[in-house]
Amino acid sequence: MGVEKESVNIDGMNGLERALKRLGDVVGAMVLLIVLSPVFLYIYIRQKLDASGPAIYSQERIGKGGKPFKIYKFRTMVVNAEKDGIPQLEQEDDPRLTDFGRRLRKHHLDELPQVWNVLIGDMSFVGYRPERKYFIDQILLHNPDYQLLYQVSPGVTSAATIQNGYTDTMEKMLRRLDMDLHYLRHRSLWLDIKILTKTLFNI
C-alpha cells in the first residue's frame, strides 16, 4: 500500500522554529497594519476613484491541510474579470487590469491586505503561494507532490515568486512547485529572512 503524500513530512523546520516563525508573523503583521495604515487608506481611496466596484476583494484559495480560506487583495482588475465563470491565470500585462491596478501590480502592493491573512493565521509572510483548487487539480495531474505543500501555511512571498515571476502557464506552475518543494525541505528562519529581504528590494 502506498504512502499518502500528505503523511510524508519533509518540513525542514523543527517545532521551535515553527513556533518562532508564527510569533514573528503575528508581531510583524500587527506592526505593519499600524505602520502602513496611511498607505492602506491612500490605496483604498485611489481604488474607489479609479474604478467602480470594491477596492478590496477576496478569493478562495487552498491552504494548510488542504483547507480553503479567503485571501484578500486590493482589486487590480475590472469588475467581473472572470464573467464567463472559468478561472483564468493572471498575466503580467493583463488587459483586464485597471490603470491604478496596473501600478499596484507592478510593485506587488495589491498583496498588502494579506497582512491580515497572516495575522489571523491563514498565511505566513514566507511560504508557497496559495492557489485556487481549479488550478491545483490541473497541477496534481502532472505532479501529485503538490499535496506535500499542505504541511505548512502558504505565504505572501516566496523564493519562487521572486525568481519565477507570474505563473501564467502550466510550465511555470510546475517550475514554481519544484522551487516550493525545495523551500519546504530546506526552510529555516534564516532562509525566511533572506527571502523577505529580497522581496523588499524587489518592491
pLDDT single digits (tens) 4-41: 454 688 899 999 999 999 999 999 999 999 999 999 99
Residue 2 binned pLDDT confidence (cut-offs 50, 70, 90): very low
| pTM of the shown model | 0.87
Torsions phi, psi of 183, nearest 5?
-60, -45
The pLDDT-based confidence of 91 (bands split at 50, 70, 90) is: low
Domain ranges of the chain: 5-202
Q: What is the pLDDT of residue 84?
A: 65
63 within 8 A of 69, measured Cβ to Cβ: yes
Give whole-number Cα distances, 72 to 3, 165, 178, in Å.
35, 20, 25
In the beta sheet, which residues pair with residue 74? 56
The SS3 call for residue 131 is: strand
Which of the residue ranges 64-68, 91-95, 111-115, 117-121 would you say has the lowest mean pLDDT?
A: 91-95
Residue 96 has pLDDT above 80, yes or no: no
Question: In sequence order, what are the residues at sequence separation of 6 or more whose Cβ sits closer than 8 angstroms to the Cβ of residue 184?
Answer: 10, 11, 12, 128, 148, 149, 151, 152
Please tell me whether residue 187 adopts helix, strand or coil conformation: coil
